[in-house]
Amino acid sequence: MASSGTRRAVKSATAVPLPAPAAPPRVGEQIARLRGERGMTLDDLSRAAGVSKSMLSEIERDKANPTIAVAWRLTNALGVSLDYLFAQQKAPEAIAVSGPHDIPTLSGHDAKYQLRVWGPIELAGKFEWYELLLQSGGALVSNAHEPGTREHLTVLQGAIEIEAAGATRRLKAADTARYVADEPHAIRNVGRTEAKALLVVIHG
């Protein structure tokens, strides 16, 4: 027969709660963040990793989980290890502040544009917003995005021409254009001075 001391020890040992299991890493968010930090488009990473653009988009939105083989190809293309991809990330700060030098900037020197990525990387492939600067004669020409994707562009200064779905419209400062972006489209500076716009992309 167990002594009362033994019974108390057993009761005390079984009362210790087990630690809650850690949440699985958000692999899609990690890939989108790494891609954005490297200034790579979905097309760029798709070609570099040999993974279809549609599959990559699904992975980044956490609608599909990559196999180890696919994850390995993606990490190779991004220049990180599999361990890094699956590492747990720190909890987000209550207020996270980014300085001017923390904002990724994509430059198309020959096309005479600069695109500043204002949206957080974790929303890449879902909801994105940018500051677009176009030199005179500059253009941002894009391939079709995912089905159902739309863009919303507000001109802050200058004159801009939008070409989408076979139509062309010219905008001046304070005008906003909303248009389909799931087929090839273009944004052009048709004025003589630099143009600036706010570009919002809502993926399908």
Tokens 């940018």 correspond to 130
The pTM is what? 0.60
Maximal C-alpha separation, the chain:
96
For the stretch 1-50, pLDDT in tens is 555 554 554 444 555 565 555 455 678 888 888 888 888 888 889 989 99
- Distances in Å between the Cα of 138 and the Cα atoms of 150, 202, 204 are 22, 24, 27
Whether the per-residue pLDDT at 166 is higher than 80: the answer is: yes
Of the CATH numbers 3.40.50.10540, 2.60.120.10, 3.40.50.970, 3.90.25.10, which one belongs to the domain with range 102-202? 2.60.120.10
Indicate the fold that domain 27-85 takes in CATH. 434 Repressor (Amino-terminal Domain) (1.10.260)
Q: Would you place residue 91 in the very low, low, confident or very high pLDDT band (cuts 50, 70, 90)?
A: low
What interhelical angle do 68-78 and 27-37 show, nearest 10? 20
Sign of CA dihedral 91, 49, 120, 64: negative
